[in-house]
Structure 1
Amino acid sequence: MRTEPTSQFAMPRIDARALLGLYDPADTTDWAPIRAAQLHAGSQLAFFLLAANLIGAALVTLLLEHAAPLWAMASWGAVVAAVAVAVTFRRLAARHRAASSATLGDVRDTVLEGIALAAVWSVPPLAFGATADSTTALGLWIVLSVLMTASAVAMAALPLATLSFLGILGTAIAAMLFLVGGPVLAASILLFTALLMIGCFTRARALVVIRAGEISLAERDETISLLLREAQDHSADWLWETDAARRIVRASPRFAHSVGLDPVSINGKALLEVLAGPTWEAGNFSAGLRTLGEHLKGRVAFSGVLLPVRVGDTERWFEIAANPRVDERGAFIGFRGVGSDVTEQRESADKINRMARFDTLTGLPNRLHINETLGRAMADATKWGSRCAFMMIDLDRFKAVNDSLGHPIGDRLLGRVSERLTALMSENELIGRLGGDEFAVVVRDAGDGARVERLAQTIVDALAKPYDLDQHTLYTGASVGVAFGPRDGATAEMLIRSADLALYRSKDQSGGMYHCYEPQLHVAAEERRILEQALRKALSNDELDVHYQPVVDAGTGSLKGFEALVRWTHPELGSISPAKFIPLAEDARLIAPIGEWVLRSACAEAATWPGETRIAVNVSPEQLHNPGFVAIVASALANSGLPASRLELEVTESVFMRDDTGAVKVLERILGLGVRLSLDDFGTGYSSLGYLSRTKFSTIKIDRSFVIGASKKVPEAIAIIRAVVALAQSLGMATTAEGVETEDEHRMVQDLGCTKVQGYYFGRPLPVAEARSLAQRDWSDRAAA
């Protein structure tokens, strides 16, 4: 016959033998804390019991002063006091008051206290009561009855001791009354004693029931607290409990259902076996199951253990938490814990993690993922004495695609680029997108440096092939920078910096190639940093000067004007080439204040020149995209007194490559001031006739590269110069040939139709005093002619 399992939190059945301390039942009730509660309750009225004994002894001595010798009563009173004090100190022992559990022997030993008290209190009725008169016997009966009642109240928590005391003393009193008053009185005292014993036992049972309920509630509160704590943090779903051998006991139906087992048959199975499922026999355990096993082995509290569990044909994820359980002796008896099915939460977390670590446009790993992978590769390389590598990839001409065809086409192009890059990767490499048109490759094992360089060249070749998108054939190349770790950087950040410097080297050399990091690149970068810091102070330290290069008539050689060119002389670094500091000023966003200073200085100087000598000043795209630049030009003219017709601003074709019309509007307002415009370096950029028709230029300047080519009889260069001259003539514009350094070059550009020339043949850029002298002399020569 199968018995129903006892509920985990059911109220215990009270066994009379266990209540008396004669038996320790082998049921699910833990009697150790109940016995401790009995001892503790007995100690609470210890002083009351002591007072009752001492007062009772004094009253009995007074009653029997004529019926017994004084020495006998004094001796008896001393014995009563000694026994009562001993019992009181025993009840108040610290180990009983502080203990949360007590053994069966602790309760059983209290019977000696009851017997000892009963023995000393049985002496007066048995030794002296039978010979006393009826009045004395009646008084003795009353005192002892009150004492029995007080003891039944004070000692009820310890029923074995109390029942022993009441039974022995009640029998002694009954014997006395039998001899003095007959059987009726003896029977009455026996009935009274029985009633006291029944009341004592009932009160003792009530105390045990209350304490057992408190223990059950505390156990329930502990479990519910664990459940609530885990539910608040992790949405706990079910309870589980094991014994000391890690076998499941009292499994909840929800737990059994979660692992796909019957709620009855799951009891007695090893917890790890149930959670391992089909992998138990193979021994192919997950990391989470191994972690759980370590916690169970260590017998310590734990939480947040994640492990996969195979339930049928699906894999679920459980989160486990538990606390160890101990008995009254502090011995480990198992675990009680909670579990949750967090499959949906984990899938959601995985999705969020993927969004945080992968690029949404291309699906490639993003910057965070790349940095983590590179960090691990660097750690492995340092640990094993090997090498890893990092490549930075920047697309060439991608901005032109975005500007001309729009961002949607640009995004689709990035997707196609990522597909080509992914196809080139092996398990040893990770390709990712840093942002914009920048990609990166982490090579985990770069022991074969030649293979890494072949991969870099393969990337350059693959990305140079055309792309067909929406009936557009697009061409974009790639520049690649390569750095090897830990040789080129001891940390991931340093290695990225080294690869970035190598990438700049590739782009500086027109792109479409790869470069490996070299120490001199860092030297150049450091030099650039020092120059930038110095350039930021150059204006305030009065280190900049404006030199003036003559521009002459191609036919007569007469001076037509000057081009203002900024020069920088540092007190420690010396003269610094404009080829170095002008690009640096543009990157550092310093070109605008420097350009404004050059404009104002040039206008102020030109205003001192005689005649109609013009001044040409270069203007950067950044200045022209500032709507306030028109006011700066007007202010420079007004402050210097220079007529607007004598100022010519030189702009390059790159101004028109942005997708807005802000620069064109600024140029129109400048033309409205009466200032002339010159198109510099025509033919070297994105030459288009569209902006020539929209903007009224007075001069087109032919770049020196075409002049050199024409002097070497290169047909294409000669054809370009002729075409530019013809175009300028048809539009009513002058043409200026730059970089003329020999008489042959001068004669050649003159024959090709250029109206003005500029170059070392006619004069290098001159300091302000020499330029002013040349302007005065030319004016004097004209006046004399």
Structure 2
Amino acid sequence: MKSLTDQLAADDIPARTLLGLGPRDEDVGKLRQLQLAPLRNKGKLRLSMGIALALVAGCTMAVRLPLAIAGGWALATMIFALWSHHRFRTLPFGDPRLAGLAEHRQCNRHAIYGAILWGVSFWLPGVAPPLDHVLSMWTIALLVMLMLAMVAHSIPMACILFIAPVSLSAAVALVRAGAPQLAGIALIAGLLLCVFCVRFAQTHIRFRRAEETLHEKTETVSLLLREFEETSADWLWQTDNARRLVHVSPRLAFALGANAEALEGTPLLQALSGDAWETGNFPKALHAMAERMKRRESFSNLTVPVTIGGKPRWWELSASPRLDEGGKFLGFRGVGSDVTEQHATAEQIARMARFDNLTGLPNRLSLNEDLARALTHALEAKSRCAMLMIDLDRFKAVNDTLGHPVGDKLLAQVAARLKGILDRGMTCGRLGGDEFAVILHNVPSATAAEDLAKRIIVAISRPYVVDNHQLFVGASIGFAIGPQDGATVETLTRNADLALYKSKDRGGNVAAGYVASLHAQAEERRVMEQELRGALERGEFELHYQPVVTATDGTLNGFEALIRWRNQKLGNVSPGRFIPLAEDARLISPIGEWVLRTACHEAMKWPSNLKVAINVSADQLTDPNFASVVVSALAQSGLPPQRLEIEVTESVFLRDGGGAAQLLDQLIGLGIRLSLDDFGTGYSSLGYLRKTQFSTIKVDRSFVVGAAKGSIESIAIIRAVVALADSLGMSTTAEGAETELEVETIRAMGCSNIQGYYYGRPMPAADVLTLFNRPASLAIAAA
């Protein structure tokens, strides 16, 4: 069986224990004191309510009974109330030093005495009392019982000893008065009141026990605080009502670098501020702490700068005001700790979150915040701000050829140049990768933003030296003016990005401002990309083939496969529009594979001496599966490798660090021919021709047109290319020949092959087959 102590701890006091009917326990006195405590200081209330209800009952009975009987009962009841008050007035209710058993029994006895008096009141008219008398007395008695239940509910036995006899007496009187139904109600009311008292008593004990537990925990916390002061690396501190240090502990004195006796009575702010106390130039955090202490407010984990021995430190302080029992303010008591190292770490983390580690420039988060401030000021002052987005040209080639460490050093030099250009009111940051941004506050006009962009391009385009490498990069810049081009950070950033796309579409190394039409272009691009993703499944692509002939006699020797796209929404879309989009959307590999397989399949229907040339992008050559795709296409179609020619541009070598060259060597090893397209128009280097065994060099149409017009530069370039190709055992193909003059000029310069409208436009596969029904030279001339 549980002891009473266990029951108290578990908040599980049985009713029989509360009523005093359970077995005796050594802790029963503690329970009785918990029950008696609520009666303290309620004697006058009980007395006044008892006399008042006795008078009311006496006056009520005087209407029907002789005055002597009614007055005698009322007088006796009031004398009992006075006597009971006198007996209880000196009792030590709730004194934890006493057992409380005698007081508990006395409460029970007085409850019985009162029950006798009020129970008799129903029978004063006789053994058959009238109903109206009984009802009147029952009403008043019910008020007495309710008053007792509210005042003395913590002593349920006393309440039951009063309520039960009075309710029973009233019920019998009601039966004698001819109202048995009302008698039942009286009994039920009495029973409910008794149950209420028991349940309320149990609740009272639970609350009192909770209060005691809280008090015990408070004392435990005090002990732990004392132990904390003695053993912890932190320290406790305390002030008086004038915010002067009191009871200075040795640990606090050590932390302040002074003697405990010397610190006693020193203002806390003076102890923390050091030399700043004389000047009054306190840090903002110390001012905030002083204001909270002045308002007597609690504070927690407040980080403040302090000066100890002339050196700055950071402390974390928490404190609460101290009050005496009367609520008088005594001062503050708190805890402190030195968090200098943690503060330095937090500052470093905060800086890392807002600044780019590589360049030291603000990152995207900081730039967005600065742009928000610039826009807010521009809206309020009715001025302008601007955002410039900068993307480095040819940077990927540096990363791919020389490695990321060299690329990182190059980015750091670019950042240094950007910082050197900027003036007051400008913020430069790195968005990520090779993208930078500049925020301009109070920019006078779009022209000023464009002029700055041009200066940035000139500065960035100057050569760099990194690890003994001379490097060249350019910059594409797009800018938008706020708030006219966007009143929010998101809108202005998006529009500057659209302008950047415009700059890159122009070939890079230029600056472009935002215009409203860019939205339409962006939407067109989005729709085109969406349609492009399903074009293969819908069968919207078609290959056209343009003839390539021998320059000397015009004999057909092959075709170049050129892709065409016919879409239901967009109509005929030129390759110049959708091929770059397919590369950006990473769709070029599946499209290129379809072109390869389709062209090989169609070429098998041609005479065996004719080749088919296919353009391959840099993205395809970086795909490790490309070689296996080529082998698969040749195997499935049955086309001999010697009849397949792969055309690549010089950009392949700029975008790849050697992987593309190795892949091309594998294709050459299979017997596939290799052609270098657009030679001389990009970043031409003889090193490409030395490293890779090209079969053909293609001369761009721009040189063909220039040579036909007598351009000395174009003529010199074509002759140089022809001579170079001859010396390396390569053939040359001149592209874009449209007139007889252009054809004759090319022949005169010694080009091996000619391709252009003069000999035939790109034609569907079915039209190609019709050419083979006639002699090749005549067929091509007719085309």
1:218 Cα deviation after fit:
6.9
- Alignment equivalent of 1:591, drawn from 576, 583, 588: 588
Cα distance between partner residues in 1 of 2:408 and 2:630:
40
* 1:777 matched residue in structure 2: 774
Cα distance between partner residues in 2 of 1:286 and 1:481:
43
* 2:573 matched residue in structure 1: 576
Cα distance between partner residues in 2 of 1:248 and 1:237:
17
Cα distance between partner residues in 2 of 1:271 and 1:329:
26
SS at the partner of 1:321?
Answer: strand
Cα pair 1:43 1:91 within 8 Å, conserved:
no
* 1:631 matched residue in structure 2: 628
* 1:285 matched residue in structure 2: 282
* 1:239 matched residue in structure 2: 236
SS at the partner of 1:461?
Answer: helix
1:502 Cα deviation after fit:
2.0
Q: CA 1:44/1:511 → structure 2, altered by over 3 Å: closer, same or farther?
A: closer
Cα distance between partner residues in 2 of 1:300 and 1:449:
53
Cα distance between partner residues in 2 of 1:676 and 1:700:
11
Q: CA 1:254/1:486 → structure 2, altered by over 3 Å: closer, same or farther?
A: farther
Q: Does 1:712 align with 2:736?
A: no
* 2:652 matched residue in structure 1: 655
SS at the partner of 2:773?
Answer: helix
* 1:537 matched residue in structure 2: 534
Cα pair 1:230 1:338 within 8 Å, conserved:
no
Q: Does 1:678 align with 2:675?
A: yes
Cα distance between partner residues in 2 of 1:365 and 1:518:
28
Q: CA 1:404/1:712 → structure 2, altered by over 3 Å: closer, same or farther?
A: farther
Alignment of 1:242-641 (within 5 A): 242-259=239-256, 262-280=259-277, 282-382=279-379, 385-446=382-443, 449-610=446-607, 612-641=609-638
1:424 Cα deviation after fit:
2.2
Cα distance between partner residues in 2 of 1:437 and 1:425:
19
1:646 Cα deviation after fit:
2.6
1:384 Cα deviation after fit:
5.1
SS at the partner of 2:313?
Answer: strand
Q: CA 1:311/1:451 → structure 2, altered by over 3 Å: closer, same or farther?
A: farther
* 1:32 matched residue in structure 2: none
* 2:88 matched residue in structure 1: 88
Alignment of 1:103-114 (within 5 A): none
Cα distance between partner residues in 1 of 2:482 and 2:228:
47
Cα distance between partner residues in 2 of 1:677 and 1:481:
38
SS at the partner of 1:563?
Answer: strand
Cα pair 2:388 2:479 within 8 Å, conserved:
yes
1:387 Cα deviation after fit:
3.6
Cα distance between partner residues in 2 of 1:747 and 1:566:
29
Cα distance between partner residues in 2 of 1:646 and 1:760:
23
* 1:147 matched residue in structure 2: none
1:648 Cα deviation after fit:
2.0
Cα distance between partner residues in 2 of 1:530 and 1:227:
73
Amino acid in structure 1 at the alignment position of 2:389: M
Cα pair 2:401 2:657 within 8 Å, conserved:
no
1:388 Cα deviation after fit:
3.0
Gaps of 5+ in 1: 1-36, 51-74, 99-213
1:652 Cα deviation after fit:
1.9
SS at the partner of 2:563?
Answer: strand
1:45 Cα deviation after fit:
12
1:221-258 residue CA offsets vs partner (Å, 9 max, x unmatched): 445667999999xx872222233443433333433454
SS at the partner of 2:484?
Answer: coil
Amino acid in structure 1 at the alignment position of 2:531: A
SS at the partner of 2:260?
Answer: coil
1:575 Cα deviation after fit:
1.0
Cα pair 1:46 1:92 within 8 Å, conserved:
no
1:275 Cα deviation after fit:
3.5
Cα distance between partner residues in 1 of 2:435 and 2:227:
49
Cα pair 2:401 2:658 within 8 Å, conserved:
no
Q: CA 1:392/1:46 → structure 2, altered by over 3 Å: closer, same or farther?
A: closer
Q: Does 1:740 align with 2:733?
A: no
Task: Please report the TM-score for the alignment, with normalisation by the length of structure 1.
Answer: 0.69
Cα pair 2:618 2:655 within 8 Å, conserved:
no
Q: CA 1:312/1:630 → structure 2, altered by over 3 Å: closer, same or farther?
A: closer
Amino acid in structure 1 at the alignment position of 2:678: D
Cα pair 1:558 1:778 within 8 Å, conserved:
no
SS at the partner of 2:647?
Answer: strand
* 1:724 matched residue in structure 2: 721
SS at the partner of 1:777?
Answer: coil
1:284-315 residue CA offsets vs partner (Å, 9 max, x unmatched): 33221232134324433321212222334222
SS at the partner of 2:430?
Answer: strand
Cα pair 2:229 2:235 within 8 Å, conserved:
no
Cα distance between partner residues in 1 of 2:275 and 2:502:
58
Cα distance between partner residues in 2 of 1:227 and 1:546:
89
Cα distance between partner residues in 1 of 2:710 and 2:225:
92
Q: CA 1:217/1:640 → structure 2, altered by over 3 Å: closer, same or farther?
A: closer
Cα distance between partner residues in 1 of 2:346 and 2:226:
23
Task: Please report the TM-score for the alignment, with normalisation by the length of structure 2.
Answer: 0.69
Cα distance between partner residues in 2 of 1:291 and 1:247:
17
SS at the partner of 1:463?
Answer: helix
Q: Percent identity?
A: 53
Amino acid in structure 2 at the alignment position of 1:413: L
Q: CA 1:46/1:740 → structure 2, altered by over 3 Å: closer, same or farther?
A: closer
SS at the partner of 1:440?
Answer: strand
Q: CA 1:718/1:251 → structure 2, altered by over 3 Å: closer, same or farther?
A: same
Cα distance between partner residues in 2 of 1:611 and 1:538:
32
Amino acid in structure 2 at the alignment position of 1:428: G
Cα pair 1:569 1:575 within 8 Å, conserved:
yes
Cα distance between partner residues in 2 of 1:216 and 1:596:
81
Gaps of 5+ in 2: 1-29, 44-74, 97-212
Cα pair 1:226 1:338 within 8 Å, conserved:
no
Alignment of 1:183-194 (within 5 A): none
Cα distance between partner residues in 2 of 1:400 and 1:718:
31
Q: CA 1:690/1:270 → structure 2, altered by over 3 Å: closer, same or farther?
A: closer
Instruction: State the superposition RMSD in angstroms.
Output: 3.9
SS at the partner of 2:763?
Answer: coil
Cα distance between partner residues in 1 of 2:90 and 2:702:
114
Q: CA 1:231/1:470 → structure 2, altered by over 3 Å: closer, same or farther?
A: farther
Alignment of 1:65-84 (within 5 A): 83=83
Cα pair 1:362 1:414 within 8 Å, conserved:
yes
Cα distance between partner residues in 2 of 1:97 and 1:777:
128
SS at the partner of 1:392?
Answer: strand
- Alignment equivalent of 2:759, drawn from 754, 762, 769: 762
SS at the partner of 2:572?
Answer: strand
1:726-774 residue CA offsets vs partner (Å, 9 max, x unmatched): 2222333221110111111111111111121111222221122222222
Cα pair 2:396 2:655 within 8 Å, conserved:
no
1:531 Cα deviation after fit:
1.0
Amino acid in structure 1 at the alignment position of 2:251: R
Q: CA 1:215/1:615 → structure 2, altered by over 3 Å: closer, same or farther?
A: closer
Cα distance between partner residues in 2 of 1:395 and 1:230:
60
Amino acid in structure 1 at the alignment position of 2:651: S
